[in-house]
Structure 1
Amino acid sequence: MGKILIFAGTTEGRLLWEECDKRAIPITASVATDYGETMLPLSKYSDIVTGRLTCEEMKNFIEEGNYTLVLDATHPYASFVTENLKKASQETKAKYVRIIREAVQTLEGIFVDSVQEAAEYLNHHPGNALLTTGSKELKEYTKVTDYTTRLTARVLPDAEVVRQCTSLGFQGKHLICMQGPFSAEMNYLMLKETSSDYLVTKEAGTYGGFSEKLEGAKRAGAKLLIIRRPGAETGVTLFEAMELVQEHHNTSES
């Protein structure tokens, strides 16, 4: 029986990594950035590889490492990574398992289908906004009138991320660099401190801190501007994924 590979970079990936370490189950975690690597605690059983991979590179890595179980714990909005990983697993005949993030059901908030639509909405509605959708698509918000004074971006405390944000005009008190998870109280305080009328978020689900954002926005009297997920996903929960890992490990040991 081959080895176990997890594509991490999310809370689910970190929790799975930590649980495998507790159970002394060796795995390999793949993360895109050096910062992502720092989020995984040191393990004497497992190892980490860092760097973004193309589909062909994923395929070669799976084959050369003799990985027969591939777990996809990448972000729900990183659909291109998921598609590449599915294809690479299929071509190498490795078992592919998608770990899905359970959604938090709510009828509250304003729903849009993309960051572009969120920016367009803000451009046509007055008020300040706290952006919690990450740094990758932050450029879209520069299309909002007076964005440097109306919008505040909350991003990861990574040097390259900070450089990108400041180059786009997000700086000073309009740039918050912190690592989550954030409590409802922290979200509330940030909304009040930035005088935000909106909290812009992706439909992140339980492990993405969505409930805490919802509660914080309610307390602050701010509206949620919610970017829907790209599409319905099928897969397993974090608990189910851990059971699959344990089963695979037991089979390998027998």
Structure 2
Amino acid sequence: MKAAVFSGTTEGRGFSRALAALGAAVTVCVATELGAEEQGRAEGITVRTGRLDAEEMTALLRNADLCVDATHPYATEATRNIRAAAGAAGVEYHRLLRPASTLPAGSAVFAAADDAAAYLQGKPGNILLATGAKELPAFAALEPERLYPRVLPTVAGITACEAAGIPHRNIVAMQGPFTEELNIALFRQFRIAFLVTKDGGATGGFAEKARAAEQCGVQLIVLRRPVEQGECAEAILQRCRELL
């Protein structure tokens, strides 16, 4: 059996290795070099690096028996494109989705980064942005000196911060997930009053961020997770066993 796994997540890495161990030929698609680095090498797995357009996705899936979308829960455009390509290629599609978190009482929840930025307008205090470099433009109306973006330690991450006018001393270039203790240290180091984040689930370190925010008196602001139906890894692996 040939399977295509769209990954770049902890779930995708674990699932692809488990599927290869069953004897499937697995192609793992990741968007960036960092994703390829994290995926690593394993027998039975071919890693394809770089963003694919609709035609490239469809062509890739025409050679597969199964498509597994293991992209991030907030990667709505990627999921939409992968699902459409699977339909066009006539290949069976599955969505591997990490469970959502229970949000702590007192969390401020918004549908989009723009809404969170509007809420923060006029509220004094430093802000740790743990939403990813792509969300930085939404916070352009806020004073850059208040913003402390935590981004991946890549050229793209740093460039996005520079484009947003973030002072270099405010850029936190680190790769998570992070422990509760490290989050606490960052909150105290930069005198953070607000944390803006996404619900990355257990594998994304959301609980550690939430506990650290509570301990430090930091207001937790969460971008609402897109509503989506998915499956667990074991359920999809069981379907793969049936196809092998």
Please classify the TM superposition score into its range, dividing by the shorter chain length: over 0.9
1:240 equivalent to 2:238? Answer no
**CA pair 246-124 structure 1, distance change in 2 beyond 3 A:** farther
* 1:18–1:41 CA contact under 8 A, matched in 2: no
Aligned to 1:228: 224
Q: How does 1:149-168 map to 2 (within 5 A)?
A: 149-168=145-164
In structure 1, the gaps of 5 or more residues are: none
- The alignment's TM-score, normalised by the length of structure 2, stands at 0.93
SS in 1 for 2:59: helix
Preserved contact between residue 17 and residue 40 of structure 1 (Cα < 8 Å): no
How far 1:56 sits from its partner (Å)?
2.1
Q: For residues 143-165 of structure 1, what are the alpha-carbon distances to aligned partners after superposition, in whole Å with 9 as ceiling and x for unaligned?
A: 11x2x211100011111221221
| Partner SS, residue 226 of structure 1 | strand
Residue 195 of structure 2 aligns to a residue in which SS?
strand
1:127 aligned to 125, 128, 147, which one?
125
Residue 193 of structure 1 is aligned with which of 178, 181, 189? 189
Moved more, 197-206 or 94-103: 197-206
State percent identity of aligned pairs: 35
1:97 is matched with 94
Q: TM-score, normalised by structure 1?
A: 0.90
Give 3-state SS (helix, strand or coil) of 2:65's partner.
strand
Specify the alignment match of 1:6 in structure 2. Answer: 5
Residues 67-216 of structure 1: pairs in structure 2 closer than 5 A: 67-108=64-105, 109-144=107-142, 146=143, 148-216=144-212
In 2, the alpha carbon distance for the partners of 1:196 and 1:33 equals 30
CA distance in 2, matches of 1:244, 1:155: 36
The question of whether the paired residues in 1 share the 8 Å contact of 2:3 and 2:24 is answered with: no
Structure 1 residue 80: Cα displacement: 1.3
Q: Find the aligned partners of 1:21 and 1:220 in 2 and give their Cα distance.
A: 44
Aligned equivalents of 2:98, 2:148: Cα separation in 1: 26
C-alpha offsets along residues 149-190 of structure 1, whole Å, 9 cap, x if unaligned? 111000111112212212222242210111111111111111
Distance in 2 between residues matched to 1:53 and 1:13, nearest whole Å = 17
- Alignment correspondent of 1:30: 29
1:50 equivalent in alignment to 2:49: yes
Structure 2 residue ranges without an equivalent (≥5): none
**2:118 aligned counterpart, secondary structure:** helix
**For the residues of structure 2 that align with 1:18 and 1:219, how far apart are their CA atoms?**
37
Aligned amino acid, residue 98 of structure 1: R
User: How many residues are aligned here?
Assistant: 243
Q: RMSD over aligned Cα, in angstroms?
A: 1.6
Q: Secondary structure at the match of 1:27?
A: strand
Equivalent position amino acid for 2:184 in 1 = Y
Distance (Å, rounded) in 2 between the aligned partners of 1:123 and 1:91: 44
Deviations 1:162-219 (A, max 9, x none): 1221222224221011111111111111111111011111122222211111111111
Task: Give secondary structure in 2 for the equivalent of 1:106.
Answer: coil
The runs of at least 4 consecutive aligned structure 1 residues that moved more than 6 Å come to none
* 1:24 shift after superposition: 5.5
